[in-house]
């Protein structure tokens, strides 16, 4: 090497050192760790990326441009800001003396900057689209060779900023940007996508809702543009929506119902075909995937349809097997027939027959119930009464299985040393049997029950619905100082069996000798919660869950959230009698415009909610609202003319959701006799 070459190399090396020294301190002051700062400084020196943009200066330039309508200077800075993920990310990391690593994204600053650039929205969208496009095409195709971690971290921040832009759901340009963003995120490794989940979990409800709307609008447009067919782009969008849904599960920024897709929960969508695709053996391709893989898009009503497909298929198979067996062996009944006596024998009779049915593998046959010594054909109404009476007996506090909390009015498993596993298993089985045969049940469990059935681990927050008083005490304990002064030890008290007062339980071995202090109070609370919600009722809940999964262990039930599972079992709360009126049928001379019918509905709409529930019980045998609402009653609600005006009370065929209403000639008679009927509708009468 010549002396001139050596001199040139020394000059170049010195220039590199000077360049790095110039950029490095500013980058570390913005919160980059030394390795990341060095990597970005090197790219700045070689002009692969621009230095950080002064956002305050950009906003000042934008104000002046808006005043003068001369935007060229501002557009130049905008191009610099969005020239690369590194520049964009670092620009939104203002210098700070005590740099926090990693520093949270200042979303308020993001909003300020985008607001200042609203006059050139199209130019900003184009610049962001270019950034995302180049990031996508430069992303390595080989998953085994992803970009370095420093670049990934800055890319994540840059994409988070772009996702927060207020125009992402605006026009065609915003949609094109969103498509590129979803493609880029879809190419990321799982760990980076998970970091995006954590980033989005910090968003406000407004920020979350804006992105959800944008993605759902894109999905709807794409679906209709493709003639109601599903392609790889649709799958990509749903996978992206899954990231936002997971983030929302962590933050609870918006209701999970915001993720329900209207186009998939309408009558026009072939949900049965989607279910069949889901059940196919082997892997689904992008062009033949199932939305059942992403259950957050389905509402409870659609999920109940999917569960019905699964249950109906199993029931039909069991029925056909029974018919076949009857030809071969003779005498076999294709139904699950429960012949029971009323209380006090109802629980024992049911328990014995369910055990026999389980042993003979006949639980999944269509259900028929017969009360011994009573006439009547079970066409649905007898089953309704059977479930009501059985659950009432089993939840009776005197039976000793469940305890009613006076504050919440909800039932929880009673901690007991008495082995009632068979009885708890029966409760679980009967709940499963009710779901399997499309019946709603009348009891109130805390949400934790459904969370545990779906495999969730109890937390201190769950205690609020089970034991609110204890929950408040434990919360207060965690925020208190000098807890040793309270004299607590690692023990708890609970009710003993047979009314023998209280018994003391150790939370730790030798718990009586372990005082609760500021250092171990968190462990005390954790063990207390575990005792109340797990260990003390473990045998009872395991038996309950075992019975439930006898009939509800299939994949369709896993589509439900705990909140949706509660609605499936117990029905909803929306007493929409206007919807019921719109879907009511009329018979035997009545029409929607008959005077008595119009009076009937005017009375119904004026009832208090509790009275409306009584009416619902009177005509259907249950005061619970089906998961699809009152408009979906099966059979449809029907009002028939039951003769001319008289002083006879209205009557009902609950198995057919059929009201028999005399043709009353004055409003007062109708109102008086209808209220008298619904207030005295306890029990069941077959006509």
Spatial separation of the C-alpha atoms in residues 169 and 182, rounded to whole Å: 14
Cβ-based neighbour number of residue 29 at 10 Å: 15
H or E element at residue 353: helix 346-359
Is residue 655 part of the annotated active site? The answer reads yes
Spatial separation of the C-alpha atoms in residues 158 and 173, rounded to whole Å: 19
Three-class SS of 202-237? CCCHHHHHHHHHHHHHHHHHHHHHCCCCCCHHHHHH
Which string of b and e fits 258-282 if b means at least 16 CB within 10 Å? bbbbebbbeeebebeebbebbeeee
CB 420 within 8 Å of CB 540:
yes
Question: Whose structure tokens read 């042993």?
Answer: 359
Q: Are strands 336-340 and 491-495 parallel, antiparallel or unpaired?
A: unpaired
Report angle CA 162, 164, 169 to the nearest 5 degrees. Answer: 95
Spatial separation of the C-alpha atoms in residues 501 and 495, rounded to whole Å: 6
Spatial separation of the C-alpha atoms in residues 496 and 500, rounded to whole Å: 5
Say how many residues make up the chain. Answer: 687
CA 265 to chain centre: 15
CB 508 within 8 Å of CB 490:
yes
Cα dihedral 554→557→559→565 (10° resolution): -170
Spatial separation of the C-alpha atoms in residues 129 and 27, rounded to whole Å: 26
Cβ-based neighbour number of residue 206 at 10 Å: 11
Positions marked active-site = 655
């Amino acid at each position: 090497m010549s002396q001139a070459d050596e001199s040139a190399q020394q000059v170049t090396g010195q220039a590199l050192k000077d360049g790095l020294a110039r950029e490095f301190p500013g980058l570390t002051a913005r919160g980059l760790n030394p390795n990341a700062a060095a990597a970005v400084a090197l790219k700045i020196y070689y002009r692969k990326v621009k230095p950080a943009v002064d956002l305050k200066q950009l906003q000042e330039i934008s104000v002046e441009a808006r005043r003068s309508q001369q935007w060229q200077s501002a557009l130049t800075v905008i191009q610099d800001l969005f020239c690369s993920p590194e520049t964009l990310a670092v620009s939104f990391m203002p210098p700070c003396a005590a740099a926090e690593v990693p520093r949270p994204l200042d979303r308020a600053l993001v909003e300020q900057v985008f607001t200042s650039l609203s006059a050139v929205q199209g130019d900003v969208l184009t610049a962001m689209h270019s950034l995302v496009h180049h990031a996508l095409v430069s992303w390595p195709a080989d998953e085994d060779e992803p970009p370095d971690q420093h670049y990934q971290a800055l890319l994540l921040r840059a994409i988070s900023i772009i996702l927060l832009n207020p125009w992402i759901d605006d026009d065609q340009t915003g949609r094109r940007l969103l498509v590129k963003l979803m493609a880029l995120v879809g190419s990321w490794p799982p760990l980076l996508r998970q970091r995006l989940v954590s980033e989005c979990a910090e968003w406000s409800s407004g920020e979350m809702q804006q992105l959800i709307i944008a993605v759902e609008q894109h999905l709807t447009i794409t679906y209709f543009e493709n003639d109601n067919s599903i392609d790889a782009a649709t799958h990509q969008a749903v996978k992206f929506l899954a990231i936002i849904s997971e983030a929302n599960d962590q933050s609870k920024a918006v209701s999970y119902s915001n993720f329900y897709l209207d186009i998939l929960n309408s009558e026009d969508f072939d949900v049965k075909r989607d279910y069949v695709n889901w059940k196919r053996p082997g892997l689904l391709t992008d062009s033949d995937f199932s939305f059942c893989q992403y259950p957050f898009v389905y509402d409870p009503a659609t999920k109940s349809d999917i569960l019905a497909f699964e249950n109906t298929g199993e029931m039909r198979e069991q029925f056909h097997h029974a018919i076949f067996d009857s030809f071969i062996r003779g005498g076999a009944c294709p139904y699950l027939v429960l012949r029971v006596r009323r209380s006090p024998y109802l629980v024992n009779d049911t328990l014995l027959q369910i055990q026999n049915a389980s042993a003979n593998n006949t639980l999944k046959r269509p259900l028929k119930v017969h009360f011994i010594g009573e006439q009547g054909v079970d066409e649905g109404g007898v089953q309704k009464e059977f479930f009501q009476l059985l659950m009432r007996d089993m939840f009776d506090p005197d039976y000793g299985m469940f305890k009613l909390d006076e504050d919440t009015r909800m039932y929880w498993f009673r901690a007991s040393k008495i082995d009632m596993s068979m009885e708890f298993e029966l409760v679980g089985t009967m709940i499963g049997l009710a779901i399997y045969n499309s019946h709603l049940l009348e009891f109130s469990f805390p949400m934790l029950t459904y969370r545990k059935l779906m495999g969730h681990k109890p937390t201190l927050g769950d205690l609020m619905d089970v034991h609110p008083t204890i929950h408040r005490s434990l919360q207060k304990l965690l925020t208190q100082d000098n807890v040793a002064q309270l004299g607590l030890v690692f023990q708890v008290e609970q009710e003993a069996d047979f009314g023998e007062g209280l018994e003391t339980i150790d939370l730790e071995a030798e718990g009586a000798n372990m005082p609760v202090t500021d250092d171990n109070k968190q462990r005390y609370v954790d063990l207390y919660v575990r005792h109340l919600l797990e260990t003390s009722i473990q045998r009872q809940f395991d038996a309950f869950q075992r019975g439930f999964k006898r009939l509800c262990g299939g994949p369709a039930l896993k589509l439900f959230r705990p909140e949706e599972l509660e609605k499936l079992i117990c029905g909803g709360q929306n007493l929409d009698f206007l919807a019921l009126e719109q879907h009511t049928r009329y018979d035997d001379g009545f029409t929607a415009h008959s005077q008595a019918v119009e009076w009937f509905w005017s009375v119904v709409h004026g009832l208090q909610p509790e009275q409306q529930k009584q009416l619902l019980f009177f005509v259907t045998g249950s005061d619970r609202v089906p998961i699809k609402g009152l408009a979906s009653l099966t059979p449809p609600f029907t009002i028939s003319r039951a003769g001319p005006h008289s002083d006879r009370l209205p009557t009902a065929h609950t198995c057919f959701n059929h009201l028999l209403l005399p043709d009353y000639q004055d409003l007062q008679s109708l109102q008086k006799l209808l209220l008298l009927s619904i207030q005295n509708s306890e029990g069941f009468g077959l006509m």
